[in-house]
A = this chain, B = another copy of it.
């Protein structure tokens, strides 16, 4: 072991940092197992030939020219810890040459699901307003304050999008005796059934759900697909929880549906982030607001490092990565998230 040089990792994890995504222990393991060359993302294309030739892994999502990639004869995997896929490298070349591009967004699934459930339960039981009223001495007691209270247990729950996040939500809901209906046009029905959820159409998930969680990624095809008509088709008194990206909804229409009393809602994402201080959603009754806080927990970031190390270990042994999620030729160009500007 000692005689061989350590495999080289080019580290450019912006907007994350090594200290954000590795615990001290895991960072030590990283530096023990690999030679780490830390650079700014925009400098990777300027690295000298020998460095590029020796690199086995890239940590991060730096811009990569075709020439750079052609020089990197030993590159096996790009660990994109930003998790959004930017259009900053020739993916065709990458896929042709069996270089994996993997993302670590799965770490956010559990934290986002927990916040989503917190929001759903809080809307069902009016937790926020009841506490604010209690602080002010205006609280109602007991049954009198529960006129619109509902239970999630035994109710109809809908989920739009059944990737890591949707599955994490379904898992949290395991104890709620709920029928969970899922709309996800990218997944075969039998796969959804195997996970214990009911595959349904967009129309059915909208019209049947007492609580509807939206965790669909934004793609080139689904911007604003949740619009005024969609909200009108939902049952009066149902709840809408937005956890993925504001672009999938017509936000003004959502506010109007809540304003009118047709729905209650909660959202972790907003059309602009940060949001104008006079944006009307700030004062909207029946709405719980969270400032893009769903996934960005320290515990989640630290799991990124663990996942990266586990997949590096597999690839070192000539096995495919399993822990992180692979970018796919078919879908890489459809994903249209903005770059992450803030952790």
Docked-complex contact B125 and A122, CB < 8 angstroms: no
Size of the chain A interface, CB-CB below 8 angstroms: 84
Whether the Cβ atoms of B118 and A191 lie closer than 8 Å is no
A96 CA / B95 CA spacing, docked (Å) = 7
Contact A137 B282, beta carbon cutoff 8 Å = yes
Q: Is the CB of A289 within 8 A of B330?
A: no
Chain B CB within 8 A of A179 CB: no
Bound complex: CA A243 to CA B95 (Å): 36
Inter-subunit contact B114/A146 (CB<8 Å):
no
Nearest-Cβ distance from residue A296 to partner chain B, whole angstroms: 4
Cross-chain contact B174 with A135 (CB below 8 angstroms): no
Contact A132 B132 (CB under 8 A): yes
Interface residues of A in 100-145 (CB under 8 A from B): 110-111, 114-115, 117-119, 121-122, 124-125, 127-128, 130-132, 134-137, 139-145
Taking CB atoms, residues of chain B closer than 8 Å to A343 are 142-143
Q: Which residues of B contact A122 (CB under 8 A)?
A: 118, 122, 127-128
Shortest distance in angstroms between A197's beta carbon and chain B's nearest beta carbon? 13
Quick check: B188 and A299 within 8 Å, CB to CB?
no
Q: Is A151 an interface residue (CB 8 A)?
A: yes
CA–CA, A315 and B331, complex, Å: 11
Which residues on B sit within 8 Å (CB–CB) of A124? 114, 118
A171 touches B (CB below 8 Å): yes
Q: A143 contacts B189, CB within 8 Å? A: no
Q: How many identical subunits does the complex contain? A: 4
Closest to A273 in B: B141
Instruction: Report chain B residues within 8 Å CB of A153.
Output: 110, 114, 172
The proximity string for A residues 310-339 relative to B, scoring 1 for CB distances below 8 Å and 0 otherwise, is: 110111001110110000111100000000
Instruction: Fill in one digit per residue for A16-55: 1 if any B CB lies within 8 Å of its CB, else 0.
Output: 0000000000000000000000000000000000000000
Residues of B within 8 A of A311 (CB): 188
Within 8 A of B (CB), among A251-304: 273-274, 277, 282-283, 288-293, 296-299, 301
Q: B142 contacts A292, CB within 8 Å?
A: yes
Given contacts A174-B174, A175-B174, A292-B141, contact A128 B125 (CB under 8 A): no
A97, A125, A132, A140: which has the most chain B beta carbons within 10 Å? A125
The chain A residues found within 8 Å of chain B, CB to CB, are 95-98, 110-111, 114-115, 117-119, 121-122, 124-125, 127-128, 130-132, 134-137, 139-147, 149-153, 171-176, 186-191, 273-274, 277, 282-283, 288-293, 296-299, 301, 306-307, 310-311, 313-315, 318-320, 322-323, 328-331, 342-343
Offer 11 A-B interface pairs, CB within 8 angstroms, sorted by A. Answer: A117-B121, A127-B288, A128-B132, A130-B289, A131-B290, A134-B282, A145-B291, A145-B293, A149-B297, A150-B299, A175-B175
Extra inter-chain contacts (14) besides given A130-B293, A144-B342, CB under 8 Å: A114-B124, A118-B125, A125-B293, A131-B290, A135-B282, A140-B291, A141-B273, A141-B291, A142-B293, A143-B297, A143-B301, A146-B296, A149-B298, A320-B329
